[in-house]
Amino acid sequence: MSMKHFIIAYCLYFIYQYFFIQMEKKNFPAQNKEDASSLANFHQVKQLIYEAELYINFSKQSLQGYTIIKFEIVDSSAKSVVLDCKDIVVSKVFLQAKNDDSEVVSVLEDSELQFTLHQDHPSKESLGTPLEIFLPSNYNSKFLDVKIYYETKHESNGLQWLDKSQTYSQKYPYVFTQCEAILARTCIPCQDSPSVKVLFKKVDLIIESGINALFGGELLKKSDLTFDGKACTKFEYTQKVIIPTYLFAIAAGDIHFKKISPRCGVYAEEHLLEKAVEEFKDIEVYLKAAEDYLDYKYVWGNYDVLFLPQAFPYGGMENPNLTFLNNALLVGDKSMVGTIAHEIAHSWTGNLVTNKNWDNFWVNEGFTVFMERKLMEIVKGKEIATLEADVGYDEFLYAVKIQGETHKYTCLEPKFQDEDPDDGFSVVPYEKGFNLLYYIEKLIGEELFRDILRIYIKTYAYKSIDYFAYKNILEEQLKLHGRSDVISKIDWHAWVEKPGFLPIEVNFKTKSAEEATLLFEDIIKGKFDENNFETAALTFNKFDTFVKVVFLNLFINKIDQLDDKNYSILSKITNLNKVECNNPEIMYTWLQVALRKKDEEAVEPTKQFLLKQGR
């Protein structure tokens, strides 16, 4: 072959390869235009109702069973149903037979459907391997019921498996889910987008006898049976309110329960139960305060909380009827109660009115932080609420510095492409979103802000929205109240689309924060030495939790002003390297100061902290 023919053949090969790859790509399910974090085709075939029966297999660390999904076909040209999946093995898929009232009555022997689990999808690392189920060529009904037999893999990131040695009682193993943002697809095949809420009509959990199994819903009944040759218990649950899939929640282990009010209760491992009840016995107070402020009743029935082992990676997760909380919140002084205020607020802002995609995550979290601090103000007073805002603002500043002022993840609307939205997780949507709403409240007044927020909740309850839903209601109501002048003062582009710091100056200073600042300045100026540091230690020890955090955050943000001599005095004042502190918020903040100063005495406390804290 001549060189000329070789080059021609070589070029033709790459042209062929290019077009072949492009053709292959065309066969892959595409990202949904409504939600770039989903590969499901819910614009064509929309999920409505889920039923599931799942065996919690601790020996294989897997959920095994099936789900039945009812769909509405909204586009008659649809040839398939595409579901989000990741680290799931699908064995069979059936078309369900129905009687006249559309209730499932049987599986036809000859109704097995063809399907493809796209293991080589280009976005498999971030978005998973979508399950495509092909419709029968002659299918012409408006509704579709599909039964999917599957099991999760050990690698499924939405499931955290703990052996019994990793629990407090060390009696039984433990498992819990964490499905926000896009990890429901690692637990159950689904259209894993907050754009399409679904009714979890029936969820049955089968587990070895003696282990309690919980689901985010209402327990209908439980019964004994033999399964897989073992004595087991079946727990039958329902969730009566439509929810996004990221609120799918399961937990199982040596879990005990105590009721604390007619609609509130606490789950925890046995030896922690009384401590948890004492620390969080005021849940009903916050629930009632939220109902009164929003003029909207709590729709979910019971409000129970589950204290998970400290491997749980967050402070809390707002699963309906079953808020997950971290044991690290049990510090003995009720200083972490703001977390429950936050999760309760999600019952309206997030669970009821939901962001339609993860670009609008701040619609969940910014509104919820605003409500959290409003509830803290109502129950605990303005000083506490303002201190929390001060701490949150410091955390926001740090997050922006870490990610970079121009990074898209510091925008309220980060515009995710094919990346996992968890990659962009930080306090930015929480605190930047809160500050936007707080700024609007200051512009229009507390009463008018509250009234507009009430209209917003009532208008969009049970729906999934973007931030324009609130913006439009806000502007309509401002015009109706003769406050059109305010509209031009809210620069939505600067707040939502531009990266970096806030477009305004904020001031959350309180008397307590001023005392912390004065002590900080005295230490920086070298006012204390070996002979008089004890007076400063007395002042520090009198600070409550959030004042201590504000105080220590000052050193984090101005660490270059703290020389070695004054750091040594600060270490003696706090004594946090030598005396165990039960409050992880204080220790977390202190260790950031100590490690920045390369304090070798902080290495062992840091190791112990990291071994105990998953948050």
Which residues are annotated as catalytic? 343, 430
Distance CA 240, CA 301 (A): 9
Buried b / exposed e across 41-56, counting CB within 10 Å, b at 16+? Answer: bbebbbbbbbbbbbbb
Whether the CB-CB separation of 581 and 591 falls below 8 Å is answered with: no
Helix 428-444 and helix 382-403, axial crossing angle in degrees, nearest 10: 130
Full DSSP string of 523-585: HHTT---TTTHHHHHHHHHHS-HHHHHHHHHHHHHTGGG--HHHHHHHHHHH-TTTS--S-HH
> Which of 76, 74, 108, 72 shows the shortest CA–CA distance to 92?
108
CA distances (Å), origin 169, targets 164, 255, 269, 270, 535:
8, 10, 7, 7, 42
Helix (H) or strand (E) holding 589: helix 584-596
Full DSSP string of 82-103: EEB-SSEEEEEEEEEEE-TT--
Peptide bond before 290: cis, by omega within 30 degrees of 0? Answer: no
Query: What are the tokens at 231?
Result: 């004595």
> Which of 169, 165, 167, 145 shows the shortest CA–CA distance to 93?
145
Helix/strand/coil (H/E/C) assignment for every residue in 445-511: CHHHHHHHHHHHHHHHCCCEECCHHHHHHHHHHHHHCCCHHHHCCCCHHHHHHCCCCCCCCCCCCCH
> Which of 279, 220, 465 shows the shortest CA–CA distance to 360?
465
Q: Which long-range contacts (CB under 8 A, 24 or more apart) does 600-607 make?
A: 601/571, 601/577, 602/577, 605/576, 605/577
Whether the CB-CB separation of 55 and 155 falls below 8 Å is answered with: no
Whether the CB-CB separation of 184 and 44 falls below 8 Å is answered with: no
Distance CA 367, CA 437 (A): 7
Distance CA 57, CA 229 (A): 12
Whether the CB-CB separation of 208 and 252 falls below 8 Å is answered with: no
Backbone torsions φ then ψ of 108, nearest 5 degrees? -70, 140
Nearest 5°: the CA angle 388, 422, 161 is 95
Pairing of strands 303-308, 264-268: parallel
